């Protein structure tokens, strides 16, 4: 029997994913749509506020999946500290949760999911990666849609629309200067610029992350780190001490060649 399509917005706490979710529901009706969120337990609290307000505005509840572990707990389970090249937290807490949810829609409800991402034209390489991923990874391929790239004719100012037309304040992480709002600024895929921003805005949260890294290093007696410099480990402690010595400002604009993973749907 043919499965009935269900439209699933990959909702992340970002403005673009909120805008795409709204358009998706307008086009296909609430009863055929799902607002999907995977919670890593490291999210910034204001992200939850934003997501709930958006869900209210759209008139549809958030469907949330939680593994129950934090990224840190995943690192301990794998005895591997996540970094820009390999982040098991993303695979376990986001990707696995998503793929099993999608398979359940097929197996339990006889629905055929179509996924919507809020990725914009400037990040089309990420759209390509996701397209490729979902064409192989689940048991059968899953259709992916990127309305910000494929459908809308002009550049959409999602942030402006959400603030000015919907009357919803954006997640505070935007105005604090973070390039993405995942995992409360603690993303292990963030690079030097990202961590400088974290230290400037929330020094305590930076120190929590530094402590996590130090504890991990001691526990497993391994010289590992989230950041790498010249291909070698470079700890958050070393980086903080350098920022303290030389001033944070010059590090804020360090280009981050690391890409936020599938965790970041914008
Ligand atoms: S946003 Fe970063 S830290 Fe959080 S789950 Fe994804 S890769 Fe891990």
pLDDT digits (tens, 9 = 90+) for 58-78: 999 999 999 999 999 999 999
Residue 79 within any structural domain of the chain: no
90 CA distance to ligand 1 middle (Å) = 5
Kindly report the number of other CB atoms within 10 A of residue 143's CB atom.
14
The answer to the question of residue 96 being in a domain is yes
Q: Are residues 159 and 203 in the same domain?
A: no
Q: Which atom of ligand 1 is nearest to the CA of 82?
A: 8
Summarize pLDDT for 207-227 with one digit per residue, the tens: 999 999 999 999 999 999 999
The response to whether residue 71 sits with its C-beta less than 6 Å from ligand 1 reads yes
Contact criterion met (CB below 8 Å) for 227 and 234: yes
Using CA atoms, how far apart are residues 20 and 59, in angstroms rounded to an integer? 14
∠ CA 38-257-138, nearest 5°, is: 35
Please identify, among 142, 175, 208, the residue that sits at the C-terminal boundary of a domain. 175
Q: Do residues 213 and 120 share a domain?
A: no
Mean pLDDT, residues 173-188 taken together: 86
Question: Given pLDDT bands bounded at 50, 70 and 90, which one contains residue 256?
Answer: low
Instruction: Indicate whether 134 belongs to any domain.
Output: yes
Distance of CA 113 to CAs 33, 95, 106, Å?
A: 9, 15, 8
pLDDT at 229 over 50: yes
The reported pTM is: 0.89
Q: What is the pLDDT of residues 108-132, one digit of tens each?
A: 999 999 999 998 888 888 888 888 8
Q: How many domains does one find in the chain?
A: 2
Check pocket membership of 82 for ligand 1, CB cut-off 6 A.
yes
198 and 248 housed in the same domain: yes
Ligand 1 within 6 A of CB of 182: yes
198: Cβ contacts below 8 Å, ≥ 6 apart = 178, 185, 186, 190, 205, 206, 209
The vertex-83 CA angle with 235 and 187, nearest 5°, equals 95
Same domain, 139 and 229: no
Q: Tell me, yes or no, whether 261 lies in a domain.
A: no
- 10 and 118 in a single domain? The answer is yes
Distance between start and end Cα atoms, the chain: 35
Distance 157 CA to ligand 1 centre (A): 26
Is the minimum distance from the CB of 187 to ligand 1 under 6 angstroms?
A: yes
Say yes or no: 228 and 121 in one domain: no
Q: Let me know whether 160 and 186 are in one domain.
A: no
Averaged pLDDT, 238-261: 83
CA atoms within 13 A on the CB side of 152: 18
**DSSP characters over the chain:** -PPEEEEEEE--S-HHHHHHHHHHHHHH-GGGEEEEEEE-S---HHHHHHHHHHHHHHT--EEEEE-S--HHHHHHHHT----SS--HHIIIIIIIHHHHHHHHHHHHH-EEEEEE----GGGHHHHHHHHHHHHHSSSS--EEE-HHHHT-SS---HHHIIIIIS--PPPHHHHTT-S--GGGGT-TT--HHHHHHHHHH-HHHHHHHHHHHHHHHHHHT----SEEETTEEE-HHHHHHHHHHH-SHHHHT--------TT---
Give the range of the structural domain holding residue 222, as residue numbers without chain letter: 182-252
Domain-located, residue 15 = yes
Q: What is the CATH number of the domain that holds 61?
A: 3.40.50.620
Domain endpoint, select from 116, 149, 175: 175
Ligand 1 center–CA 104 separation, angstroms: 24
Q: What is the pLDDT of residues 27-64, one digit of tens each?
A: 999 999 999 999 999 999 999 999 999 999 999 999 99
For residues 138 and 109, membership in a common domain is answered with yes
Residues facing 227 on adjacent strands: 234
Domain finish residue from 139, 160, 175: 175
Q: Which two tokens stand for residue 174?
A: 């935007």
Ligand 1 atom closest to the Cα of residue 261 is 7
Whether residue 66 is found in the same domain as residue 190: no
Query: Do residue 10 and residue 112 come from a single domain?
Result: yes
189 lines ligand 1 (CB under 6 A): yes
Give yes or no for residue 39 CB within 6 A of ligand 1.
no
């Amino acid at each position: 029997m043919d499965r009935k399509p269900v439209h699933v917005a990959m909702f992340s706490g970002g403005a673009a994913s909120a805008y795409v979710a709204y358009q998706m529901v307008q086009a296909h009706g609430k009863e055929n749509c799902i607002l999907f969120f995977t919670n890593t337990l490291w999210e910034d609290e204001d992200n939850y506020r934003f997501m709930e307000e958006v869900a209210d505005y759209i008139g549809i509840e958030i469907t949330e999946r939680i593994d129950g572990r934090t990224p840190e707990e995943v690192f301990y389970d794998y005895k591997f500290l996540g970094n820009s090249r390999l982040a098991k937290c993303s695979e376990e807490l986001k990707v696995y949760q998503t793929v099993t949810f999608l398979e359940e829609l097929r197996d339990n409800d006889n629905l055929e999911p179509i996924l919507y991402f809020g990725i914009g034209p400037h990040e089309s390489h990420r759209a390509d990666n996701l397209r490729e991923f979902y064409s192989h990874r689940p048991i059968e391929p899953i259709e992916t849609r990127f309305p910000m790239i494929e459908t809308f004719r002009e550049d959409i100012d999602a942030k402006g629309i959400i603030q000015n037309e919907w009357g919803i304040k954006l997640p505070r992480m935007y105005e604090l200067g973070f390039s993405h709002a995942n995992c409360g600024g603690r993303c292990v895929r963030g690079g030097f610029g990202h961590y400088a921003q974290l230290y400037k805005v929330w020094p305590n949260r930076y120190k929590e992350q530094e402590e996590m890294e130090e504890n991990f290093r001691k526990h497993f007696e391994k010289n590992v780190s989230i950041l790498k410099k010249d291909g070698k480990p470079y700890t958050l402690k070393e980086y903080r001490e350098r920022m303290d010595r030389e001033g944070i400002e010059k590090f804020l604009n360090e280009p981050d060649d690391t890409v936020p993973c599938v965790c970041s749907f914008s």
